Structure 1
Amino acid sequence: MKNYFPYCDGALLAGSVVRGKATKTSDLDMVVFDKTYSSSYRESVIKYDWPIEVFAHNLNSYYKRARPSLPRMISEGIILKDNGVIDSIKCEAKELLSKGPEKWSIEIINTKRYFITDTLDDFIGCNNRAEGIFIANTLAELVSEFVLRTNNRWIGASKWIIRSLRDYDTNFAEQFVEVFDIFYKSDAKNEVIKLVDEILHP
């Protein structure tokens, strides 16, 4: 770190390695804070045979998306360097995680319902297996986002979709996986349709 960011105000090591859940393909996530940076950036480096993903920020370039990846990394991160800025940044990250994302307005909820309904109609009417797979993917992403955001929960991308759903409700998360798994394995749509209808009903 000294070679790459010698003048930074603080740095944290985060990610799956810190959580004790590293795999053979895991990298090291490093969050760097430097008040001289005009904007945030991200880069990948390799050092000591480790792939390292660097998330560099000034002291004000914070997170407004509904994905909690950065505040989560900050809150759980191990301090590598601190010039007196890390405590307040960690407190802010933990507060943000606890508070949840900005609440959706009725207008946004109705718009999201429209997109889900439109995609569900495409899913129901699709007779092409290849197209159906990608429609199902879109439907799963839209529905997971809708459930989480209307319940004031953080969303995720990729593997964090199911992790976020489990944080919200483990039973629902398993049901969600099961109905889409049934479709992917057998082309049976009924369980997906039933679940989406139940979600949209309220």
Structure 2
Amino acid sequence: MKKISYMEAAERFVANQFPSCEAAILAGSVVQGGATETSDLDIVILDESGPGPFRRTYKAFGWVIEAFVLTKETYRYFFDQGIECAIPSLLRMCAEGVPIRGHETVLSLAEEARRDLLAGPPAWSRQELDQARYEIGEALHDLLGTDHRGEGLFIAAKLAEGLAAFALRTGGQWLGDGKWMYRSLERFNPDLGKELLEALNAYYKLDRKEPLAVHALSLLEPYGGILTEGYSEGEMEGFGIE
């Protein structure tokens, strides 16, 4: 089927698949100006008439459509899940999306989501900070120690995600998933995002590891640097070396 406009596709999809829904919100790249040829439609739906909550992928009107179907009793649970893991995907969709149906309900949901987003994620505990320092150090040591290009590429990818997450969480910022992690970092601190990107390109294109090491060490230095000796998860009484 020929692809029609994203708004018309969203409206027709909701009318066909969820005719009794109370509210529907079109979100994602298409409403934020960052759409590409492969972008899909993300639609949050509040529907009391069927078995919810669930997430399902459809293909209609030339679009791939991701439907996030919630109820009045369950949407808050998913809001809280996003807050706990600091990846507020649903909150962002509700706060930044465009109403398709049920404007008053959508506005109320959006206001609640915006309040949560403005409050920011819960601060890292000391244990969470130490774990991040340890895991970044472990990945960096693995990268510096390998001569295997394939292994190095996978290690660098893990290291990049860890460094971006560290910068965002220590800065009191929300995380993102996939491309949204980089977008979140770029929005929070463009210079830091550029520095990480340049360090990654130095490794991917030139096989130079030093820029990633320098970036990692400078990022962790204000928080005590890489943590190796003494790091633990849980307590192990009576286990040690005299």
Give the TM-score taking structure 1 as reference length.
0.93
> Residues 10 and 19 of structure 1: is their aligned pair in 2 closer, same or farther, counting only changes over 3 Å?
same
Letter of the 2:35 partner, please give it. Answer: A
Of 66, 69, 73, 1:56 maps to 69
Which one-letter code corresponds to 1:31 in the other structure? Answer: V
Hey, which bits of structure 1, 4+ residues long, moved more than 3 A? 35-39
Gaps of 5+ in 1: none
Corresponding residue of 2:175: 155
Aligned pairs for 1:1-202 (under 5 A) are 1-35=14-48, 39-59=52-72, 60-61=74-75, 62-63=78-79, 64-65=81-82, 66-82=86-102, 84-202=104-222
CA contact (8 A) 1:8 1:32 kept: yes
Preserved contact between residue 20 and residue 49 of structure 2 (Cα < 8 Å)? no
Deviation at 1:56? 1.1
Larger Rg: 2
Amino acid at match of 2:147: N
Which amino acid in the other structure matches residue 6 of structure 1? Answer: P
Structure 2 counterpart of 1:25, one-letter code: T
Q: Which residue of 1 aligns with 2:239?
A: none
Which 10-residue stretch deviates more, 32-41 or 44-53? 32-41
Relative to structure 1, the CA distance from residue 44 to residue 123 in structure 2 (aligned partners, 3 Å threshold; closer, same or farther) is same
Distance 2:50 2:192 in 1: 42
C-alpha distance in 1 between matches for 2:184 and 2:27: 18
- Superposed CA RMSD in Å reads 1.6
Secondary structure of the equivalent of 1:3? helix
CA distance 1:44–1:132, change in 2 (3 Å): same
Counterpart AA for 2:216: V
Contact map agreement 1:124 1:189 (CA 8 A) in 2: yes
Give 1:159's aligned amino acid: K
Aligned pair count reads 202
Q: How many percent identity over aligned positions?
A: 37
SS at match of 1:2: helix
- Equivalent in the alignment of 2:231: none
1:107-147, CA deviations, whole angstroms, 9 ceiling, x for partnerless residues? 11111111111111111111111111111111111111111
SS at match of 1:26: coil
Q: Distance in 2 between matches of 1:44 and 1:75?
A: 22
Contact 1:12–1:30 (Cα < 8 Å) also in 2: yes
What SS is found at the alignment partner of 1:70? helix
Q: How far, CA to CA, are the matches of 1:100 and 1:127 in structure 2? A: 41
**Which ranges in structure 2 are unaligned for 5 or more consecutive residues?**
1-13, 223-242
CA–CA separation in structure 1 for the residues paired with 2:125 and 2:210: 31
Give 1:83 deviation, angstroms.
7.1
